[in-house]
């Protein structure tokens, strides 16, 4: 009886286990054909952010660093201050140059105005000389008639002829004076234009000097958290030298590197389910924003050249950018965290 009883129990257990396996297989098959085959998943995914590299636009010694590592900052908040003594002096020199050029323009304009007056005076002298020349020629004609009739001597006529010649010479000199005055006016106008151009250059130099002075205070371009701060007070920074970074933790996203065999159904707008390694029991929703125009290997420092040497086929991965829905309370994501991303590619 005991043997028969044990055999019956074993048979029941076997049938139960077999039934469980069959039911599990059926359940998996139903899940796969209805849902699972439409899900593409990768664990090659990471939290990313558009990290702002902080570097000065002007060189100099650091006078102050009003922030510390891991400090939250707002957009426009000062992050470091470069000693501005040299830049203030440059602004003063540029301002003095602008003042000097303005005075030069005033002198040039006064000279040009005097040239206009000189032209008027020269033209008046020309008109007077021409009138005298006309009178002198009339005297010559009148005295020539009187000489023929014997009323005046040849000497008197010669005097009138000489006077007419002198008046004609005066007209020529007056015309030359008008031409010279006009030439001086053109030179004055050219000088005024040159002075105005120099003033424009001086103003541009002043604007550049003021901009450099303003750039001695380096401000945060975004709101975020300070990280990788390598600058200290008294340190000399070159233009463009990295001093720290600001990480916009409020604008993180995920980059998932799917295999090339998985991206056929991926497109912007598809929903994504994300599991963050740091939060095992949490699930974050997202959506695909864009798919990279090339495999990640094409953007590496040394892209592979498959046309040379021996070829070994390697499955490529294509980066996909994923935007995050609002995070659960208490969840804090930072760039570099590992993520598992699953996408339902059904229409």
Quick one: 104 and 164 in the same domain?
yes
Instruction: Looking at the structure, tell me whether residues 287 and 143 fall in a common domain.
Output: no
**Closest to 185 measured CA to CA, from 103, 121, 130, 128:** 121
First-residue to last-residue Cα distance in the chain: 61
Do 284 and 339 fall into the same domain?
A: yes
- Which of 27-31, 264-268, 342-346 shows the lowest per-residue confidence on average (mean pLDDT)? 27-31
Residue 3 lies in a domain: no
Query: Residue 253: what pLDDT?
Result: 97
Structural domains of the chain, count: 3
Long-range contacts of 323-332 (CB under 8 A, 24+ apart): 323/253, 323/286, 323/287, 323/289, 324/252, 324/253, 324/254, 324/274, 324/284, 324/285, 324/286, 325/284, 325/285, 325/286, 325/287, 327/284, 328/282, 328/284, 331/276, 331/279, 331/282, 331/284, 332/249
Give the span between the Cα atoms of 255 and 28, in whole angstroms: 30
Residue 249 to residue 247: CA distance in whole angstroms: 6
69, 151: one domain: no
Give domain status of residue 12, yes or no: no
When pLDDT is averaged across residues 96-108 and rounded to a whole number, the result is: 78
CATH of the domain at 112: 1.10.287.620
Q: Based on the domain organization, do 264 and 233 belong to the same domain?
A: no
Residues 220, 77 within the same domain: yes
Q: How far apart are CA 246 and CA 227, in angstroms?
A: 6
Q: Is the CB of residue 252 less than 8 Å from the CB of residue 325?
A: no
Q: 273-308, pLDDT tens digit by residue? A: 999 999 988 899 999 999 999 888 877 777 776 666
Band of pLDDT at residue 85, cut at 50, 70 and 90: very high
Tell me, yes or no, whether 27 lies in a domain: no
> Tens digits of per-residue pLDDT, 224-271?
999 999 999 999 999 999 999 999 999 999 999 999 998 888 999 999
Q: Which of 347, 330, 315, 329 is nearest to 44 (CA)?
A: 315
- Separation of alpha carbons 136 and 166, rounded Å: 9
pLDDT band (50, 70, 90) for residue 166: confident
| Pair (209, 65) in one structural domain | no
- 31: confidence class by pLDDT, cuts 50, 70, 90: low
Residue 160 lies in a domain: yes
Together in a domain, 126 and 71:
no
The pTM assigned to this predicted structure is 0.67
Statement to judge: residues 288 and 256 lie in one domain: yes
The rounded distance, in Å, linking the Cα atoms of 166 and 172 is: 10
By residue range, what is the domain housing residue 125?
85-214
Separation CA 134–CA 166 (nearest Å): 12
- The CATH number that applies at residue 330 is 2.40.30.170
Pair 134, 151 in one domain? yes
What pLDDT is attached to residue 345? 83
Confidence of residue 17 (pLDDT cuts 50, 70, 90): confident
339, containing H or E segment: strand 338-344
The average pLDDT across 91-114 equals 78
Q: Which of 60, 46, 77, 58 shows the shortest CA–CA distance to 246?
A: 77
Q: What is the mean pLDDT of residues 151-161?
A: 73
Q: Are residues 175 and 197 in the same domain?
A: yes
Tracing tokens 């070994």 back to the chain, one arrives at 312
> What average pLDDT score do residues 125-151 get?
73
pLDDT digits (tens, 9 = 90+) for 38-50: 689 999 999 999 9
Q: Do 89 and 182 share a domain, yes or no?
A: yes
When the pLDDT of each residue in the chain is averaged and rounded to a whole number, the result is 83
């Amino acid at each position: 009886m005991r043997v028969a009883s044990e055999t019956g129990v074993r048979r029941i257990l076997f049938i139960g286990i077999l039934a469980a396996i069959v039911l599990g297989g059926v359940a998996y098959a139903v899940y796969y054909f209805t849902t699972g085959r439409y899900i593409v998943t990768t664990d090659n995914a990471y939290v990313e952010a558009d990290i702002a590299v902080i570097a000065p636009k002007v060189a100099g010694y650091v006078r102050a660093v009003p922030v510390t590592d891991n400090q939250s900052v707002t957009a426009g908040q000062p992050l470091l201050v470069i000693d501005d003594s040299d830049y203030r002096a440059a602004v003063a020199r540029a301002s003095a140059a602008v003042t000097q050029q303005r005075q030069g323009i005033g002198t040039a304009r006064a000279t040009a105005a005097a040239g206009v007056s000189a032209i008027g005076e020269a033209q008046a002298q020309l008109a007077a000389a021409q009138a005298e020349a006309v009178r002198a020629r009339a005297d010559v004609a009148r005295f020539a008639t009187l000489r023929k009739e014997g009323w005046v001597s040849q000497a008197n006529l010669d005097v009138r002829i000489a006077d007419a010649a002198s008046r004609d010479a005066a007209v020529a000199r007056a015309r030359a004076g008008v031409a010279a005055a006009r030439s001086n006016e053109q030179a004055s106008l050219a000088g005024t234009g040159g002075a105005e151009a120099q003033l424009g250059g001086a103003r541009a130099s002043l604007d550049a000097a003021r901009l450099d002075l303003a750039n001695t205070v380096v401000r945060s371009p975004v709101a975020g958290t300070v990280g990788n701060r390598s600058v200290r007070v008294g340190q000399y920074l070159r233009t463009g030298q990295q001093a720290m970074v600001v990480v916009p933790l409020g604008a993180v996203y995920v980059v998932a590197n799917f295999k090339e065999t998985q991206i056929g159904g991926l497109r912007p707008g598809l929903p994504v389910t994300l599991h963050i390694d740091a939060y095992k029991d949490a699930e974050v929703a997202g959506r695909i924003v864009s798919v990279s125009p090339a495999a990640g290997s094409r953007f590496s420092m040394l892209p592979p050249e498959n046309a040379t040497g021996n070829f070994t086929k390697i499955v490529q991965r294509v980066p996909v950018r994923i935007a995050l829905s609002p995070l659960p309370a208490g969840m804090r994501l930072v760039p570099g965290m590992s993520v598992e991303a699953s996408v339902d590619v059904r229409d």
